[in-house]
Every structure is written in structure tokens, then in C-alpha cells.
Amino acid sequence: MAQRMPTSPRHIPFVGRESEMAELTVALDDALGGRGGLVMIAGEPGIGKPRLTEELTAIAKDRGALVAWGACYEGGSAPPYWPWTQIIRSLLTEPSEAVMSALQTRGGVIADIVPEIRDMMPDMQPPSEVDPAQARFRLFDSVTSFLNEIAISQPVILVIDDLHWADRSTLDLLEFVAREVATRPMLLIGGYRDVELSRRHPLSETLATLARVRAFQRILLRGLASDEVSRLVEAVGKMALPHELIEEIHVRTEGNPFFVAEVTRDLAREAADRGGEFDALKFRIPEGVREAVGIHLNRLSEDCNHVLRIAAVIGREFDFELLTAVSTGLSEDELLDAVEEAMATGAIREIPGVGVRYEFTHALIQQTLADEISAGRRIRLHIRIIEAIEHLYPTRLDEHVAELAHHCSEAETVVGEEKALRYIRMAGERAGAAYAWVEARGYFEQALEFMGENAAVAERAEVLFGLGKAELQTLTYPEIQRGWENVARAFDLYIELGDTDSALALAMRSWGFPTFWVHGTTPLYARALELVAPDSADAGHLRLLYGFMTRLEEQNSSEGVRAMEQALEIAERFGDGILEGRALQALMRVRTGEGDFQGAIEFGQRAVGLAIENDQPNVLSEAYWLLAYVHIVLGQSDEARRHIELLSDVKSQIGLGQSLVWLQFLIAYVRGEFLERAELAETFESGSPDDGSYQMLAGIRLWHIGENSGVGVRLKGAYRTARTSPSMHQSVANMFWIALAARLMDRPDDAAGAGEIAHSLLSLPKLNIENEVQARIVAGLAAVAIDDVQQARQQYAKLGNLTGILCAWGGMSGDRLLGLLAHTADMPKEAAAHFESALEFTGKAGYRLEAAWTCYDFAESLLDSGELAGIERAVTLIDEGLKITGELGLVGIDKRLITLQEKAKVISAPTPAYPDGLTEREVEVLRLLAAGSTNQQIADDLVIAPSTAAKHVANILGKTGSANRTEAAAYATQQSLTAKPKEAD
């Protein structure tokens, strides 16, 4: 197979780099042995990154590996994923049976970034339609599995140069492919200029992600040593130079191999011009790499320089046909002579593959040539390039829109608004079609900037819709709202034009955005419903969208559910299996949120059947997700795991991102498997850096295992979202994790803060059942934290249906919450019954962390009672809890249990016999009461809750037959209980 590798007379001899080569060779050996690797080679321009990689890949090919190269280019002239497109094209140039076999089931998806696959496989079926985020995952997974399957038959070495110029989508795909490289016979090598990176550079973020890959290593290249410079000079120039000149070259070039080679070639030419002699003292070393390149180019003919300058404006890569069309004043023969002259001196090289294509051997050569052209001449060249592309490829302009958009941007003052907008829009649409949403967003933003006041309304609507879709896929909360606002603006413009067809198409195509992160969508769907016949199939799809969002945004459960049920009726009437599956999925989510778990399971099972029948992987994944979640809530671990496995199978088709990770982490959380699932936890936390609820749960995990949880920062972010989010779902989710963290970490003020937000929501005129329950759970936890008896009783009465399940997104068992509320409300029998139920539930489900916390809360409530039987039971519970935490390595709760254990020892220690059955704690309270202390003062002195102090006072009055506190004080004096007995010597 022809390999796209740098080969030319300009090829710099390989000198030095022994230690770096040794590292790479070890990585190659590992890859050939089935243990893949990921190597990033960093250094300044000209330092020899590609040359080092060439040396390794030559060895790899000799040892039977398959090698493919790709490169990123500056300036935005290449389409998204360009280096991956180059790599795949290279593999398809002379494809082996293994390559074609790997492509067979994935070609329809990969063709989104390598269109010629459609010509190779004209009979292939297009992939099924899925949501945008899932389609992007499917593309990434298809490329990854394609490469992995090839690697099974033949080890694969993939090289991507100049990653500092990579688009965001290229980097995202690199991260995706890298996840599995450690277990494959594959070596990924990337090169980048470290001097180009800043903290905010996209590659910096990617490098941080790649550094977590087990097989990752970084090689930093610096200048050659003096003796290595001497060897390189001798190899390039075929001559020996005086030591003093070698030292000067070393100092001036800082050992940069490209610079050294350019200086040496110049020396060699000067010596040749002088018949083999040269004056070392008079030779001037160039001031920098660009000057050295300029000296080299000056030795080429003027025709050659003219052609190269045109090529430099075309881009790092260029084809002969386009170069011919743009070049004027030269015949084809003269043009070929110029190209061959440039190749002979190594300024450019030919790219193997379809057509006659070339590229500059180094970016520094292209940059030097482009910088020599005046701004006015460069603009005219861009215009000629645009016209030439339009002339050469009139039926294939979509394949060249990235180039056209780039050249239009560079010549914006001349090219004209209409043409520039056309190509920039086309580039945005093509990027969106390849799920390169960041790049699509950039194109549409640029298109908006180009638009003047007189731009056509329809065109503005198209651009706004494209921009909005891209923003909905790329922005995070709260900026993501901007995406929906642009979609809504586009809808309004279509209505203004009277273009109801486009308005309806927009509304119908908006399915699949992150619904829980945006607000204000229902007016659009309500207006769209006015444009269709009430009982039409289109009305069914719009009613479903309207119903789901009105329940979510307007908190109008009755209207929302009614609209969704109407959508289901329309689907059944028209036999629309796709709409029926979506409607069942939406209604299943409603049933889940409202606690009708059996109804949710029935809807889910129906949705699964329809999704399989109608090839709806997105509906199937949502149904499996909800079924797994419901079984987790019900404590049915085996069923939950089964559905998670089914969900993982769907992942291979569409991808699920954090949704699958959430379920896996939730089970790990309630089971307390924090240490053995550390990698899962890292994925969980890093996957949603802007989601306060995810970050709070991740912090709770860190606290449990005794690591720095950074809870202060996490709480700040969660509070901000809970207080300011227009999305009710976001508010209640963040409130719960704040309240739970506060309960676990003994932060009553934070629990009270979450409680205040919860009460503000509960005072709203409308609140759907799901959000009301979550808000009441938060209010209940706050009541427990601040010992608010009245609130505890009120929320206990409202939350009675939480028995036998996990509540609030699986954060705790409903019976444990009810036990805490009952204990705070001075209902000891009810509290004990709920805690016993919680222990039974968690034991059957295998939720060991939740069992340990139930042991803690139950034991604490029993110790507060002071009853002997309760104390004995508390000691047993503490021992059970410590056994669990010890086995799981949970430091946070372990410390709390040990503190409780010490308290139990003190309470259960032998005490003097007191009259009328008074306990040691009651006598302590009686002494303070006799001294005139209020309940609050008693609570402060004994470090107990005021309600607990009040309970002890009531018990004392009953046992002593006292009618009031005065009589109780008199009783204390009569029984000599007003002072502690002196300890015996």
C-alpha cells in the first residue's frame, strides 16, 4: 500500500535523538505485541518531530505494521476531521481484505467524513436516523472500531502532525480513539508545537485528557548538541567545517535541525559556486529559520518561486489541476518544470493517492512564501482560486466548501457578501452534517457577521437555525440557552415571511436537544401546533414535544400529560410506530417521575418493542435507561444490571455519553464501590464539568474515601444553579445534592440554605409532582439538619409513599429519610420501623453504602432516646456499619461511626442508681433545669438538639410527678441531685 510519508531530496538525515528513539522503539514493541500506546511529540518548528516519526514508522513497516499519516493545516482551509480523512483515505488507497471487511458494516457512517466511500460501496444502506449527539458518537465509534478491526489482522501505526492546528472535532475524535488504544496492537503518534500552546488552547485541554490514558507518554524535543550539529552538517553538506564555525552554527540555530540543514545547504551551495572552496569567516549565518528558508528559495528560478507563492496561498496541500487553473502566464510544460524544480530541492513533495496532489514539506516554507505576497495581490489570488474551484468542480462544490469559505474570508472586501455567505453557510451545513458542531458554530457565527442589514430574511433564518442547532450541541449551561433563542428567532422569521413549511420543518427537526438545560421552548411548539390540522400526523409529533416541554417548563403536569397521551392516540391511529415509540418513552419518564414505577415498566417494555421493530436506537436507549433506573430505585439489582448491559449494547450504535456513566456510577454509589470503580468515577466527574449536581455527587464520593472533596467550590456552583436556573429540573437536582452533602458532612447551614430554596419552590402556584416531591425531600433534610420539629412532621406526612425505594435520583433510601423525619418529629416508634425497613431494603438490594448510613442514622436516633434496649441495639448497628465501611474503605462515614461508637460507650457505662427511674442524661438535664436553664441553654451545654432537650424535660416531669419546671427543681433539691456526686479518691 502506498503510504503518505515525507520522502524527498530535502529529507534531513537522522542524527542524534538516541534516547527519544529508544522510547519510541519500546512503544512500538509494545504495540506490535498487542499493548498499544499513545505518544505525543512536542517541540518548536523545525525541531524534527516528523523526522523522528519517519524513522520509527520505517522500522514499523519493516516489521509488518500498517502505517497511515494525517496532518492538520493552519487557517481553516481544511474541513473538520481532515487528518482522520487523510488517514482513512490512505488505508483505502490499496485496501487489503481486512480493511474492506472492517469497512463493510461501518462505511455508511464513515462516509460522512470520507465521501468517496459511497463510490466504493454504491449498494450500502444509509445508517438509521438518530439524535445529533448520538450520531456523532456513532461516527466516532465507527472510525474507532474500523481501526481496531484492522489492527487485529495487522498492527497499525497512526501519525497526526501539527496537532496545534487541529479543529475541535479532530481532537475529540483523537480522544475517543485513544480510550481503547492500550488494549489494541496500535500506536498513535501526534506531533505539535508546544510554543504555540496557551492554557486556553484547545489542544491543551485534549492533552490533559490524553494524559489520563494509561498508555500515554510525551516526548519533548529540544535542540541538538554541538557534536550532533557537527554530524548533521557533515551528512547534509558532505563536508567538514572548522570547529569554530560549527559552534557558531550551534549557537545561532540553537541546534534546530531544520535551521541547521538550511544553513548547511547554503554553505554547500556557496562552496560549490567557488569550486569547492568557501570563506568560513565571511559566511553570514541567517538570523532565523525564515531567513534561511528565504535564502533557499532565492536560489530557485523566478518561475518556480512564482508558482510556489500561488501554491502557498492555495494551502499546505494543493492539486496540479487547481494550480494550473490559477497560474497565468505559464504553459503547462513551464508549470511542470517549476513543480519538478521545487520537488528536486525538497520544497514540496507529491502525495500518493487519487489525482496529482502535492504538499509543502514544511509549514515554514509555505508560511515564508505566503508572507512574501502583498495584501492586495494575495486577495486577488484568493479570488482567482475561488473562481478556479467553481470552474473545475461545478457539481462537487460541497466537497470543497471549507476551501471556498476560507478563501472567501481572506478576500471578504472583494468577493462580495452574497458569495461569501453562500460558501460559509455551505461549510457550516457540511460541518453540521458531519457532527462537527464546534466548527459548524464557527461558520454560522461568521455568516452572521457577514450579513448586512439588507440580507434576505429567509437566509438569516437559515443561518440562525444552523447556529442554534450547533450551539445546542456544544454550549453548556447556562450559555446553551442562547442556542434555543437562535432557533426560536429563526422560527419567528419564517412565520414573518409566511413560510409555514419551513417553520414547521424547524419545529419538527428540533427534537434531540438537551431538554433539561433550556427553557422557553413551549411557545414555539404551541404556535407550530396552530399551523397544522389538529389530528394530523404532524400534530402528533408536535403535541409530544409540546406536552413534554410544558410539563418540564411550565410545571403543568395535567396539560403536558394530556398532550403526550393525545400524541400516543394519533400515533396508534396512523400506525406511526416511530411517534408511538417516542410517546411511550416520554410517558414512561412521566410515570417514573411521579412514582408510578409499575406503569413506567409497562410503558418501557412497549417502547422497547416498538423501538426494535422501527429501528429507533435513540428511543431504545432511553427506554433501557429508564428501565435500568426504575429497577435501581426498586432495589432490583439483577434487573437493573441486565438493562444496563442492554443499554451498553445500544452504545455501540449511537453512544450515550454521560447517561450510561450516570447509571453505572449510581449503582457504584449506593453499593459503596468507590475504590474499585475509580476509573468510572473519573469519567463521571470529568464528563460534566459544568453540571452542579454531577460535581456534588463526585465530591460526595471523594469525601467518602477520605480525599479532598473541594466541597466549598462544589457547593458554590450548585447553589448558583439552584438559585438562578430557569430550569426547575436543574434547581431541584442541585438542591438535593447540596442537602444530602450537608447531611453527610454535618453542614447544617448548607442544608438550611437548600431548604430555603426548596420552600420558595413549594410556594409556587404550579409544580409538577416530580419536582414537588424532590423539593419536599430537600425541605425534609433541612428540617432534620436544623431540628425543625414542625417541618419534619409536615414533610413526613407528605412523603409517605417513599417506602421501599430509593428516592431523589437514588441518593438515599426513602425509608431512611422517613426514619430521620420521624425521629426529628419525636415519633420514635415510626422512626424505628422505617429504619428497620431501610435495612431490609438495602440488604436485599446489596446497597451497602446506604446500609451503612442507615446503621448510623438508626443508631444515632436510638442513642438519643437513652433507653437501655435502644442503646444495646445502637451498639450492634454501629458494629454492622463499621464492618461495611471497613470492607469498602469508606473513611468519611467510618469516622462518623467511630465518634458515635464512643458516644455509645459513654452512655452505656455503669451509672449510679437514681430515684424514679431517671437516667444519667435525665439527671444532667435536671441539674441544669434546677439551675434555671432554658431548653436552648440545656441543649447548648449538653451539645444536643433543643427538641431533644425538650423531650428529656418532658420525661423528667412525668417520672418525678412534677407539674412544672419549678416543682422539678424542688424535686432535685429534695433528692440531692442538684450537684454531681464527688468521685471517690
Q: How confident is the model at residue 605 (pLDDT cuts 50, 70, 90)?
A: very high
Question: What is the SS3 assignment for 44?
Answer: coil
How is residue 121 written as a grid cell? 460501496
Model confidence at 657, pLDDT cuts 50, 70, 90, reads: low
Amino acid at 378: R
Q: What is the pLDDT of residue 857?
A: 96
Q: What is the mean pLDDT of residues 232-260?
A: 83
**DSSP code of residue 365:** H
Res 425 pLDDT > 70: yes
- pLDDT tens digits, residue range 434-474? 889 999 999 999 999 888 777 789 999 999 999 999 998 88
Phi, psi of 402 (to 5 degrees): -65, -40
Quote the pLDDT of residue 10: 46
> Is the N-terminal amide bond of 478 cis, ω within 30° of 0?
yes
User: Tens digits of per-residue pLDDT, 16-73?
Assistant: 888 999 999 999 999 999 999 999 999 988 888 888 999 999 999 999 999 999 999 8
Kind plus residue range of the DSSP H or E element containing 68: strand 66-71
pLDDT at 281 (0 to 100): 53
Q: What is the pLDDT of residue 983?
A: 46
- Distance of alpha carbon 393 from alpha carbon 336, whole angstroms: 22
Percent above pLDDT 70 for the chain = 94
Report the chain's mean pLDDT, rounded to a whole number.
Answer: 87
What pLDDT score does 3 carry?
A: 39
Question: Residue 433 is placed in which grid cell?
Answer: 452534517
- Cell digits for 222? 529540544
How many other CB atoms are there within 10 angstroms of residue 30's CB atom? Answer: 16
CA distances from 323 to 359, 370, 536 (A): 12, 15, 55
Strand pairing report for 357-360 and 216-220: unpaired
Residue 982 confidence (pLDDT) above 50:
no
Q: Is 166 helix (H, G, I), strand (E, B) or coil?
A: coil
pLDDT of residue 271: 67
Residue 189's DSSP bridge partners are: 39, 159
Instruction: Return the residue matching grid coordinates 446506604.
Output: 850
The owner of cell 486577488 is 380
pTM: 0.75
Q: Where is average pLDDT lowest: 196-210, 417-431, 555-569, 919-933?
A: 196-210
**Alpha helices, DSSP H, located in 911-981:** 920-930, 935-942, 946-960, 965-974
Q: What is the pLDDT of residues 91-133, one digit of tens each?
A: 998 888 899 999 988 888 899 899 889 888 888 887 777 777 6
CB-facing half-sphere around the CA of 22: CA atoms within 13 A: 4
pLDDT of amino acid 283: 63
Contacts of residue 649, defined as CB under 8 A and 6 or more positions apart, other chains included, come to none
What would the mean pLDDT of 275-281 be, rounded to a whole number? 57
Does 591 have pLDDT greater than 90?
yes
Half-sphere exposure of 196 (CA within 13 A, CB side): 15
pLDDT tens per residue, range 494-504: 999 999 999 99
User: Would you state the pLDDT for residue 985?
Assistant: 39
Q: Residue 9: pLDDT above 50?
A: no
Nearest-angstrom CA–CA distance, 160 and 811: 44
pLDDT at 681: 72
